[in-house]
Amino acid sequence: MEYFDTPKITYEGPTSKNPLAFKHYNADETVDGKPMKEHLRFAAPYWHVMRNVLSDPFGAGTARMPWDDGSDSVENALKRVDVFFEFLGKMGIEYYCWHDRDIGPELNNLAASNEALDAVVEKLAAKQAETGVKLLWGTACLFAHPRYAHGAATSPDANVYAYAAAQVKKAIECTHKLGGLGYTFWGGREGYGTLLNTNMKRELDHLARFLHMAVDHAKQIGFTGPFYIEPKPREPSTHQYDSDAAACLNFLREYGLMDHFKLNIETNHATLAAHTMEHELTVAANAGMLGSIDANRGDTLVGWDTDQFPTDIYNTTQVMLIVLGMGGFTTGGLNFDAKRRRESPDPIDLVHAHIGGMDTFARGLKIASAIRKDGRLAEFIDKRYSSFDSGIGAKVEAGTATFAELEQHTLANGEPELASGRQEMLENLINEFI
């Protein structure tokens, strides 16, 4: 039985009018000496593809999932695995991501939930072996169950903290069993609703201890990671401790966790933090900490995490400029942490959505590669800082200049000339390629 009413999606080129074909994503075509699929490393999230019923705060789900009987049975969970792999196969997507509770049901107690999880993991392992699909990362859902209302690793209740630890222990073990390339922490409830009832210092200390215990456990079982932290400023909580890339880096440095973690940057979370995606990626990449990307987008007219599919070529170009600039992904990839709209309930809408995301990134990749080959952009930036290449500027960079010398320099040289940043010219230059 097949549920996605299409043959395997293939590349038909930019002139094709077939909505069920790639116009730009050609998996094996090389860009800068590497196949597109290896540059882009697309992943599909189990939660949005298989479990998102497309409800919103004002109404019930609309998604048509004829394969799903809506129950918490292991049988139903196993059935979803077949459907998910049909989807991955038809899309030519070679990586995926999950939360423990997406793949296995949360049952009455931890032992029962773990047992169900084991059964699904066994099937996922078989499907991965059969298809060559790989797990990009696993994670634990520490935000949906009511027990986590006050947080998980930052809960004021040590019993809740322990439950969360047990869940993460198991999720890391399952990730390892499936040969997962990474493991993500997204702190949905790790923050606060109000500071009136919150001891921020204790909560952050507890969170750091939690992550250190995760590192220790990974070592014990031979999982070599990396761990990712995924920043997001708010929603569901008022303030989340991992609010943006800079806050995460500060936290990881303060608590001695830099060696074991990287960041997983999500477009819609960047914009919720009032940053651009390029800003967040640049902050992470500059610290050598850009691990992976949750590739989606927000809506400028709607103020929440709408998790839409990327369709903006300008944005994917900027993302790929940074990814190419750091030499590409190692363990990470582009996970479409995106869902189709509530008004798009059909299984085939999932196919259209992913075709769009993949084509948009394929164009971003090609355009970014062309901009880099052209070289004018990089050359402009180099020139803009060239006064630091010699003379007093070079002394500053070498750390040998003093305030007294800089004063001398200024007294001798007088007023510096105001140079143009040529923003408009550079914007035109980018549009030449788009």
- Cα–Cα distance for residue pair 303/199, rounded to 1 Å: 28
From the CB of 230, what's the least distance to Ni ion, in Å? 5
Residue 302 tokens, joined: 């709607």
Binding string, 74-113, against Ni ion, x = CB under 5 A?
Answer: ----------------------------------------
Among 266, 280, 359, 366, binds ligand XLS (CB under 6 A): 266
- Closest CB to ligand XLS among 20 and 319? 319
* C-beta neighbour count of 134 within 10 angstroms: 16
What 3-state DSSP class applies to 345? coil
Q: Residue 155 is encoded by which pair of tokens?
A: 């809960």
Residue 306 C-beta: closest distance to Ni ion, Å: 9
Residues 304 to 343 in contact with ligand XLS, rule: CB under 6 A:
305, 337
Q: Which is nearer to ligand XLS, 244 or 294 (CB)?
A: 294
Interface with ligand XLS includes 139 (CB under 6 A)?
yes
359 binds ligand XLS (CB under 6 A): no
Are 261 and 289 a contacting pair, CB within 8 Å? yes
Residues 175 and 228: their CA atoms lie apart, in Å, by 13
CB under 5 to 8 A by kind: which of Ni ion, ligand XLS, none does 203 bind?
none
| Rounded least distance, CB 54 to ligand XLS, Å | 15
Does position 280 interact with Ni ion (CB under 5 A)? The reply is: no
Asked if residue 337 binds Ni ion (CB under 5 A), the reply is yes
| Residues contacting ligand XLS: total by CB under 6 A | 10
Q: Does 280 bind ligand XLS (CB under 6 A)?
A: no
Helix or strand holding residue 291 (H, E): strand 290-294
For the chain, the distance separating the N- and C-terminal CA atoms, rounded to the nearest angstrom, is 42
CB proximity list for 336: less than 8 A, separation 6 or greater? 42, 43, 44, 45, 48, 294, 295, 296, 309, 310, 353, 354, 357
99 strand-pairing partners: 139
Minimum Å gap between C-beta 275 and Ni ion is 14
Q: Does 186 bind ligand XLS (CB under 6 A)?
A: yes
* Cα–Cα distance measured from residue 52 to residue 135, given in angstroms and rounded to the nearest whole number: 19
In this chain, which of 294, 339, 366, 371 binds Ni ion, going by CB under 5 A? 294
Q: Is 244 in the site for ligand XLS (CB under 6 A)?
A: no
Tell whether residue 230 is a contact of ligand XLS (CB under 6 A): yes
Q: What span, in angstroms and rounded, lies between the C-alpha atoms of 362 and 313?
A: 9
* Rounded least distance, CB 267 to ligand XLS, Å: 10
Return the structure tokens found at 386. Answer: 């060239």
Return the one option of ligand XLS, Ni ion, none that residue 280 interacts with (CB less than 5 to 8 A, by type). none
Q: Which residue is nearest to ligand XLS (CB)?
A: 186
Task: State residue 242 phi and psi, 5-degree precision.
Answer: -85, 60
294 touches ligand XLS (CB under 6 A): yes
Is residue 203 close enough to count as binding ligand XLS by CB under 6 A? no
Q: Please, what is the Cα angle at 237 between 340 and 307, to 5 degrees?
A: 15
Could you tell me the two tokens for 200?
């921020």
| C-beta of 335 vs 369, nearer to ligand XLS | 335
139 binds, among ligand XLS, Ni ion, none (CB under 5 to 8 A by kind): ligand XLS
Residue 382 buriedness (CB in 10 A; 0-12 / 13-18 / 19+): exposed
Tell the smallest beta-carbon distance from residue 2 to ligand XLS (Å): 27
- Give CA angle at 228 (222, 234), nearest 5°: 145
Give me the active site residues, please.
99, 102
Minimal distance, residue 2 CB to Ni ion, in Å: 29
Q: Which residue has the tokens 């090389």?
A: 30
CB of 307 to ligand XLS, least distance (A): 7
In angstroms, rounded to a whole number, what is the distance separating the alpha carbons of residues 160 and 169? Answer: 14
Pick the binder of Ni ion from 305, 334, 338, 353 (CB under 5 A): 305
Q: What share of the chain is helix, strand, coil (3-state, %, to 5)?
A: 50, 10, 40
Q: Which two tokens stand for residue 326?
A: 């750091």
- Is 190 a residue that touches ligand XLS (CB under 6 A)? no
If binding is defined by CB under 6 A, does position 232 make contact with ligand XLS?
yes
Restricting to residues 351-380, which ones interact with Ni ion according to CB under 5 A? none
Q: Does 266 bind Ni ion (CB under 5 A)?
A: yes
Residues at the contact surface with ligand XLS, assessed by CB under 6 A = 99, 139, 184, 186, 230, 232, 266, 294, 305, 337
Residues at the contact surface with Ni ion, assessed by CB under 5 A = 266, 294, 305, 337
